[in-house]
Chains A and B, each alone.
Chain A
């Protein structure tokens, strides 16, 4: 058989979503990244569409273990579009599906990484961390609530994508761009706020100039409070722009410089 008569039910969507939420990346590896995860999360449905022990199923299983890597916050959008095709065309959809997966994984990886991998953790992580610094765990619970909402979004997108098909990608694009832009504004704003509260360092040195002691920190405070933290962040920003600089290296450079300046009595903890 080449055409399948199987129609996906809500039970199938439920099963795919469970496997996606709790198992999609367990097999992540350097060679094919989420390849085996993709096969795993739709395997029961593939078996229903093509039937066990058919050459079609074997061939499709091989297609689905190929290299795949996208944001695990958007992966079921690709799954939904893929399964809608396979359900209609069966094995004839093989090439289309392979192309579709390869074509969509990049864009969704970029959007997903920036919104869910970077911006959401920034905004809620910043909130949770600054509350934690005062000994207050409430921010962690706010973050958990936000992630539950995100997981609801991950859950509903599969059926939505299955129904809308490929046209979904273009309609989503504009909306996602606007949301990303708004979220980056909040992200940038929060970084500004964090620089002002969470980098707790000040000048400790009070040099004597012609018999007059110069309180550097007090003078800086008159310009604007927390100028030194802002300068430190600016300096590290510049450092990170240098060639061959990694975040881990930057962390150790900061460690060494801080110890040196502190030992020399130039800076101290606020």
Chain B
């Protein structure tokens, strides 16, 4: 079960993360960090990291463009981690059964929060008229309330009262509806693909498709080799070395090198006497969420 202090800490985090995302963007407001922090609070960091990581990938391309509401993967990750740890759910299943529906439902509360803030904007107008400078600042800072409460209230309520319902769902998914439970686990594993596809719509893939192929091919080959090496290393008796999985940082460095090469060649062309036509064909990011 989820203890009372865990409910309080998770609720406080739910309120903090949206303010962080709006302001300093420390990345503690990212879904992967939401899973990590919830994991620490719940006492099972690994489950939190798995859920947070999967939610991070699912919303990878979903940025906030021009103030559009986006699927609230953070609250989803918090609730999924809490229930997965408390009720010993399979993390993958928790992603599809809890994190995704919660994240989608929370969109309407984000809209509500943004809407509620209009009230304070009008109060500020009145204070400007009255030349009440302190009042302007006070009413501006009160905008914090709709923002954080729109997360804290649903997350807190779900944590405090949701356990019974979730417990029933888990029981059914692993009993009479096992096919559904298994299916949701598979879905949890496939969901990051949505994040990648959304992202590809925002990135200029047509211009840089070669790098997409490079990234995929390098990684698919290495990950297979590393995967089997790990398997072999683990099964050979007397083998003392430790073989880890494919380090993603190494792959990211390859990508960084390609980016650096492109940047350097770009600068050279830019310095050439014939000022290259700098027409902006970057216009892939045209409007709000797809």
Are A190 and B63 in contact, with the CB atoms below 8 A? Answer: no
Q: Roughly how many angstroms separate A118 CA and B204 CA in the complex, as a whole number?
A: 13
What does the 1/0 interface line of A24-37 toward B look like (CB < 8 Å)? 11111111110111
Query: B174 an interface residue at 8 Å Cβ cutoff?
Result: no
Question: Is A186 touching B255 in the complex (CB atoms < 8 A)?
Answer: yes
Q: Which of A208-267 contact B (CB under 8 A)?
A: 224-226, 229-230, 232-234, 236-237, 239-241, 245-248, 250-252, 254-255, 258-263, 267
> What is the CA–CA distance of A237 and B197 in the complex, to the nearest angstrom?
5
CA separation between A31 and B140, bound complex, in Å?
A: 14
Q: Are A25 and B60 in contact (CB under 8 A)?
A: no
- Asked whether, in the complex, the Cβ of A233 is within 8 Å of the Cβ of B193, the reply is yes
How many residues in A have their beta carbons less than 8 Å from beta carbons of B?
A: 123
Cβ of B94 under 8 Å from chain A: no
B67 near A28: Cβ-Cβ < 8 Å: yes
Contact B211 A127 (CB under 8 A): no
In Å, the complex CA distance between A143 and B147 comes to 24
A121 an interface residue at 8 Å Cβ cutoff? yes
Q: List B contacts of A123 (CB < 8 A).
A: 252, 255
A236 and B197 contact, CB distance less than 8 A? yes
Q: Quick check: is A88 within 8 A (CB to CB) of the other chain?
A: no
Shortest CB distance A248–B (Å)? 5
When the two chains form their complex, are residues B124 and A233 in contact, meaning their CB atoms are under 8 A apart? no
Known interface pairs A185-B262, A225-B220; A258-B187 also in contact (CB < 8 Å): yes
Contact (A193, B45) CB under 8 Å given A128-B32, A139-B32: no
A180 within 8 A of B: yes
Please tell me if A96 contacts chain B, counting CB pairs below 8 Å: no
Interface flag for A199 (CB, 8 Å): yes
Q: Which of B45, B104, B196, B254 contacts A191 (CB 8 A)?
A: B196
> What is the bound-complex CA distance between A14 and B66, given in angstroms?
27
B22-54 contacts to A (CB < 8 Å): 22-28, 30, 32-33, 35-36, 45-46, 49-50, 52-54
Of B36, B60, B208, B224, most A-chain CB atoms within 10 Å: B60
Most buried by A among B139, B186, B204, B260: B186
Are B254 and A143 in contact, with the CB atoms below 8 A?
no
- Judge whether A196 is part of the interface by a CB distance below 8 angstroms: yes
Task: Please indicate the chain A residues that have their CB under 8 angstroms from the CB of B49 in the complex.
Answer: 132-133, 135-137
How far is B185's CA from A52's CA once the two chains are assembled, in angstroms? 62
A193:B218 contact, CB within 8 angstroms: yes
Contact of A147 among B27, B116, B223 (CB under 8 A): B27
B231: interface (CB < 8 Å):
no
Q: Confirm or deny: A98 has a beta carbon within 8 angstroms of a beta carbon on chain B.
A: no
Q: Which residues of B contact A113 (CB under 8 A)?
A: 63-66, 285
In the complex, the answer to whether A125 meets B32 with C-beta atoms within 8 Å is yes
The tally of residues in B whose CB lies under 8 Å from a CB in A reads 120
| A200 to B62 Cα, complex, angstroms | 21
User: Which chain B positions have C-beta within 8 A of A181?
Assistant: 262-263, 266, 282
Contacts of A172 in B (CB 8 A): none
Q: Which residues of A contact B199 (CB under 8 A)?
A: 118, 122, 187, 191
CB within 8 Å for A177 and B282 given contacts A129-B56, A254-B190: yes
Which of A2-10, A39-47, A79-87 forms part of the interface with chain B? Answer: A39-47
Interface centre among B96, B100, B141, B216 (most CB of A within 10 A): B216
Alpha-carbon distance between A209 and B105 when the two chains are bound, in angstroms:
46
Q: Are B193 and A254 in contact (CB under 8 A)?
A: yes
Query: Which parts of B55-88 form the interface with A (CB within 8 Å)?
Result: 56-58, 60-67, 71
Contact A129 B104 (CB under 8 A): no
The contact sample of 30 A-B pairs, CB cut-off 8 A, is: A22-B23, A27-B120, A30-B117, A40-B140, A113-B65, A113-B285, A128-B53, A129-B54, A140-B30, A140-B36, A143-B30, A179-B263, A181-B262, A185-B255, A189-B258, A191-B212, A192-B212, A194-B57, A194-B192, A196-B217, A197-B219, A226-B223, A229-B193, A233-B193, A233-B196, A233-B200, A236-B194, A245-B290, A258-B183, A262-B179
Measured CB to CB, the residues of B under 8 A from A are: 19, 22-28, 30, 32-33, 35-36, 45-46, 49-50, 52-54, 56-58, 60-67, 71, 92, 96, 100, 104, 107, 114-118, 120-121, 124-125, 128-129, 131, 133, 136-137, 139-141, 143-144, 147, 179-180, 182-187, 189-194, 196-205, 208-209, 211-221, 223-224, 245-246, 248-249, 251-252, 254-256, 258-260, 262-263, 266-267, 270, 278, 280, 282, 285, 289-290
